[in-house]
Structure 1
Amino acid sequence: MTADGTVLRVHLRGEADVFALRHSARSVAAAVGLDGSDQTRVATALSEVGRVLLAFPTAVTAVFEVTQVLEIRLAGPGPTDVRDRPGLAAAARLVDDLDVSQQGDQVLITLRKKLPPGRVVDVPRVRAELAALRPTTPADELWRQNQDLLTALEEAEQSRDAQIRMNAELEETNRGVMALYGELTEELEHTNQGVVALYAELEDRSQRLREANDAKTRFLRHVNHELRAPVNSILGLIRVMTDLADPPFSDEQQHQIELMRRSAADLLRMVNDLLDLAKAEATRIQPSWEDVDLRVLLGQLRAALAPAHARADVALVVADPDPPPALVSDGMLLTQVLRNLLTNALKYTVAGSVRLDLSVAGDSLTFVVADTGIGIPADQQERVFEEFYQVPGTLQAQVGGTGLGLPLVRRLVAALGGELALRSEPGTGTTVTVVVPREPAPSGPVTAGSDPMRVVLVDDDPTFRRMLRTALDSTPGPLEVAEVADAREALPVIQRIRPHLIFLDLRMPEMSGEEILAALRADSALATVPVVVVTSETDWTGGSDPYVALLPKADLDEATVAEAMRSAQGSP
């Protein structure tokens, strides 16, 4: 800092001059615009530094300079441990900055105090004012210090009173907060009680829903046999009647019989859809993984659907891959998915085409069923996957249906580990995309059988026993066939006859086919007897039992019985 900013220079020769230094510091602080409290701080800080330096016989010069800050420099001889003197620590707390530098016995102490913001100091005027000051005596300075102390005490009392008032206000506020907290706590407690009661009610309703769902499942399991067996009997009798007709039926009779067969097949398909959907809801569909020949599968779909849904103005185009891509999946479930999608497309397409295309992408296969039918409005496209829901419309009312096809398809695709997406535009058509993995982890059952000599038929339905007996009589080789109508008598008969092959109905009153199978496997003498399970259930696989083969009742004829027997003969 240059000498142009110097406003006062004071020479100190003894400890008594500390009073003069304090007076000078107060005067300079007031002249540069510091308030009363800052004036006292600067004066006190400078007197503390002066006492440290003047504690020893010495001469000290104090220089006051002003620019953006008030800077006071005290220079002169001083003790070597001046930095450690407690007076300097006290002075440092009263000003903005305090520096100490020392060379030998010469000490320079600099104190700085910021001026009020925006304060511009007229240095010549301040210098003139300070030059006109009269010297002060120690008594005057002591009186001044006493006045400062009294002012500080008064300010402290005022601060204390203000603190007391603030504490009282805070205490009152705290009481209000505590009262509000109590009210909120009580309200929350009431709310929690309501929530707990609501949860209890929801849990009760959930339990009742679970019980109702279990009751529905038990009902479906109970009526499974009663619903499917009569329809399968009708289909089987129609097949036998047609095959054994002598003389052949007339054209009109053939037409009537075909109507009967189609009606029974439609009824069976609706019953199967309903039961399959119930099983899918209960997550009881377990795919049976196997190598699937897609060319054969798609060819069967083409052959089955083309005549059944023939329309002159609608072309059915089903992909014919050559060679077909490799696929390990459940062929029966996949066929059911594609058949339902194609059937829906054909039902709601009056002109144009229905296409089933196939593409391969990495580890996935994509099936796309696209039609040029009536389409589905955007607000209905998610609802078509609801059970029993059908989009309202004239054509929908004409073709009919149960509204179970698409909900079942979605669940079957999920069971195969795949994904389904639907895109449709009214008047243009609908496209359904099914993506399935090509190689899920195989866990399919192993079919079984044995060399048939003695055969036991266990079925409570006399029609199916007759159909089975007729089919068995057409097979080559001598057979000893025993029929059991009551499931409870099956085990004693089997234990007595020791058959080479058992045809077993799965769903019978009093005792199920699974219970008979479990009893057979628990008997060491009968554990390896091959069993052909004759059932209407499309998703029953027999688990991992190597001595069990499956024969769907809907497919029962001489050829399928002979094939089941040959399969049983090839078991371990």
Structure 2
Amino acid sequence: MTGGSSVRRLGTVELLTDGDVVLLRQVGREAGGLLGLDGQDQVRLATALSEVGREVAGTAGGLAVLEVDGAPGAPELVVHVLGRPARGGRGDVTGVTAAQRLVDRVDVTSDADGSRTVVLRKALPDARAVSPARLDEVRASLSRPRAADALGELRVQNTELVRALEALAAREQDLVRANEELEETNRGVMAMYTQLSDELEETNSGVVALYAELDERGRQLAAANDAKTRFLRSVSHELRAPVNSILGLTSLLAEGALDEDQRIQVGYLDSSARALLGMVNELLDLARAESGRQHVHRVRVDLAALLGDLQGTVRPLLRPGVALHVDVPTGVELHTDPDLLGRVLRNLLTNAVKFTDAGAVDVAVTVPEDGVVVVTVRDTGIGIPAEHLETVFEEFFQVPNRLQPSAKGTGLGLPYARRVAEALGGSLQVASVVGEGSTFTLTLERTTAPALGRVLVVDDDDAARAVVRGLLAPSAAQVVEARDGAEALDVIAAGAVDAVLMDVRMPGVDGVAALHTLRADARWSTLPVVLMSTLDEPPVAGVPFVAKTALDADGLADVLSRATGTAGATEVAP
């Protein structure tokens, strides 16, 4: 039975009587103790050996061989029990089954003659237990003569049982204490959970109330802002009429017979009225920008030409000794609104000229990367304190200026310029050093001209035209409008139109009638026309059509692009 070089035999026990099974139990406990097993493992090993020995040896006798497998890192006590089992059984739980629960491993082999070999393995805790010296001590101890003392073994088993019961009772007490502590912890957790739930509910209620208050404040602020915008727009319109009247009267007075003092006074009156009209116009522009009604009509803009025109209008405002330099690369074009962009640049230039007594005003245009154009307006004027760099973009704010008390304004120019810059898809920033000057930086997206050119939108519904105008903004260079077919024909006759998007149902000359007129005229017979209607079916076969119920920017751009490429291929019968 001895296998490889790492296996060493410790001793044998013949199993002929029940007393020998008791002896095997004693030997197994003693061997386990000598090899380093603790008390509980010694009891488990002894019990497993007695159960297997009683079952395997039976009435025919058997043999138990104790060995040590000293494999490096995993030493084991190995016991081979050989014999012929007794006939009959002990129920479902056999000795081998019991042993499998008590040791690390149990292997069973059976021979043809009915004999059986059961191998029990129990891992040893310390490799030092299988040293040659220790194994010699174990062999010597196991080989000493001994008698099977059933009564003594019973006492030992009773002692072990008492210890096991005491350990079980101690564990039960520990479990009771742990359960009590767990119950106490659970009560604390539940109390904390309840408290946190109450606090969370209270917090949620407060958050809901805060959101409701913020919503109400937001509505109030929006209403106040709308009221302010309406007020500015209304006041601006109302003031224009009397101011224009004053200008007209001063013009008449200037043409009359006036002495020198009267002429000077009329001049003051005229300049004051013009200054007032400029303020009124700024108020109206600001109100329009704030209300979101700033219509952007994008066309191709040559930035050099635009700045060249502005240069001519600003140069007369320069103080003696102040130079104006404009550096614009050739070929820089934008697809934007020239009027709005011109207002922003004019505002920045006049502002720089107003606060510069000496030095220069420099305008530079750069294209740092694709899709972006940067316009910088730099002056050598009085500068802006750091704490006012953002407040200069607030309405009616004016930087305190002791050096140039005469250089005053309305405080509306820069707020208007920033809002218009944002409406054009750009931004306006400022950097400044007091006493050295200021630099305003206007950044614009360098969008290319859309694929569609000048598109005429024909519809009698103002709201519908506004929707279509917004949908066409990304794809059309310019959108012009007409309220019916007759007005559309007039617009087409007055100027170039690249495509027409026309409603079918309109009072007077409807879309179909206008289409027949266009096709019958050689000048416009190939003009691309797309019909639109609330109907789902095209009213005219072969003519591009889009349903109003399914309008979107991409769809409109696609149908107009296709119409532009195939215009004139289909004739409409008169």
Q: 1:368 aligns with which of 347, 372, 376?
A: 376
Alignment correspondent of 1:554: none
Find the aligned partners of 2:202 and 2:156 in 1 and give their Cα distance: 68
SS, match of residue 77 in structure 2: strand
Residue of structure 1 in register with 2:311 after alignment = 302
Amino acid in the other structure paired with 1:197:
A
Q: Which residue of 1 aligns with 2:166?
A: 154
Alpha-carbon RMSD: 4.3
Pairing partner for 1:344 from 338, 346, 351: 351
Equivalent residue number for residue 267 of structure 1: 276
Measured after TM superposition, the shift of residue 437 of structure 1 is 2.5
1:107 deviates by 4.6
Matched ranges for 1:184-263 at <5 A: 184-235=196-247, 245=255, 259-263=268-272
Counterpart CA distance in 2 for 1:240 and 1:106 is: 137
Separation of aligned partners in 2, 1:86 and 1:280: 96
* Contact 2:375 2:443 (8 Å CA) reproduced: yes
User: Is residue 357 of structure 1 aligned with residue 360 of structure 2?
Assistant: no
User: Of 64, 69, 77, which aligns to 1:71?
Assistant: 77
Number of residue pairs matched by the alignment: 450
Which residue is equivalent to 1:335?
342
Deviation by residue 1:264-292 (Cα, 9 ceiling, x = unmatched)? 34333333333333333332222111232
Q: Structure 2 unaligned segments of length 5 or more: list them.
A: 86-91, 459-489, 491-504, 512-574
Using the TM superposition, give the Cα deviation of residue 72 of structure 1 relative to its aligned residue in structure 2, in angstroms: 1.6
Q: Which amino acid aligns with 1:124?
A: D
| One of 307, 313, 325 as aligned partner of 1:317 | 325
| SS of residue paired to 1:64 | strand
1:446 to 1:136, Cα distance in 2 relative to 1, 3 A: same
1:353, 1:372 within 8 Å by CA — same for their partners in 2?
Answer: yes
Summarize the Cα distance change of 1:410–1:207 in structure 2 as closer, same or farther, 3 Å threshold. same
Give me the whole-angstrom Cα distance separating, in 1, the residues matched to 2:149 and 2:196.
68
Distance in 2 (alpha carbons) for counterparts of 1:304 and 1:251: 30
Higher relative contact order (CA 8 A, sep 6+): 1
Map of 2:494 onto structure 1? none
CA distance in 2, matches of 1:312, 1:64: 117
In the TM superposition, residue 301 of structure 1 has moved relative to its aligned partner by: 0.9
The answer to whether the Cα contact below 8 Å between 1:337 and 1:413 also exists between their aligned partners in 2 is yes
Alpha-carbon separation, structure 1, partners of 2:423 and 2:280: 20
Letter in 2 for 1:72: V
Partner of 2:285: 276
Once residues 290 and 241 of structure 1 are traced to their aligned partners in structure 2, the CA distance between those partners, rounded to angstroms, is 43
Distance in 2, Cα, partners of 1:378 & 1:117 = 80
CA separation in 2, counterparts of 1:345 and 1:51? 113
Query: Is structure 2 residue 152 aligned with structure 1 residue 140?
Result: yes
Q: Distance in 1 between matches of 2:93 and 2:262?
A: 129
The 1:91/1:268 distance shift into structure 2, 3 A limit, reads: farther
Q: Does 1:181 align with 2:193?
A: yes
| 2: CA distance, partners of 1:118 / 1:343 | 99
1:40 deviates by: 1.6
| Identity across the alignment (%) | 43
The CA deviation string for residues 298-346 of structure 1, in whole angstroms up to 9 with x for no partner, is: 12211111112x1123211224655x43322111110111111112222
Q: Is the 8 A contact 1:270 1:402 kept in 2?
A: yes
Are 2:33 and 1:30 equivalent residues in the alignment? Answer: yes
Partner of 1:112: 122
Could you say if the C-alpha distance between residues 283 and 227 of structure 1 is closer, same or farther in structure 2, counting changes exceeding 3 Å? Answer: same
Matched position secondary structure for 2:306 = helix
TM-aligned CA deviation for residue 66 of structure 1: 7.0
What is the aligned partner in structure 1 of residue 418 from structure 2? 410
Q: Is the alpha carbon distance of 1:362 and 1:150 closer, same or farther for their aligned partners in structure 2, counting shifts above 3 Å?
A: same
Aligned twin of 2:393: 385
2:184 corresponds to: 172
CA distance in 1, matches of 2:6, 2:303: 104
The letter for the 2-side match of 1:34 is L
Deviation at 1:205, TM superposition (A): 2.6
- Counterpart secondary structure, 1:370: strand
| Residue 290 of structure 1 pairs with residue 299 of structure 2 | yes
- The answer to whether the Cα contact below 8 Å between 1:423 and 1:430 also exists between their aligned partners in 2 is yes
Q: Distance in 2 between matches of 1:130 and 1:38?
A: 18
Give the Cα–Cα distance (whole angstroms) in 2 for the partners of residues 197 and 21 of structure 1: 82
User: Counterpart of 1:431?
Assistant: 439
- Which residue identity lines up with residue 366 of structure 1 in the other structure? V
Report the CA distance between 1:175 and its aligned residue: 2.5
Q: Given the two structures, how large is their TM-score scaled by the length of structure 1? A: 0.66
| C-alpha distance 52-423 of structure 1, shift in aligned 2 (>3 A) | farther
| Cα pair distance change 1:250/1:216, threshold 3 Å | same
Residue type at the aligned position of 2:11: R
- Partner residue of 1:466? none
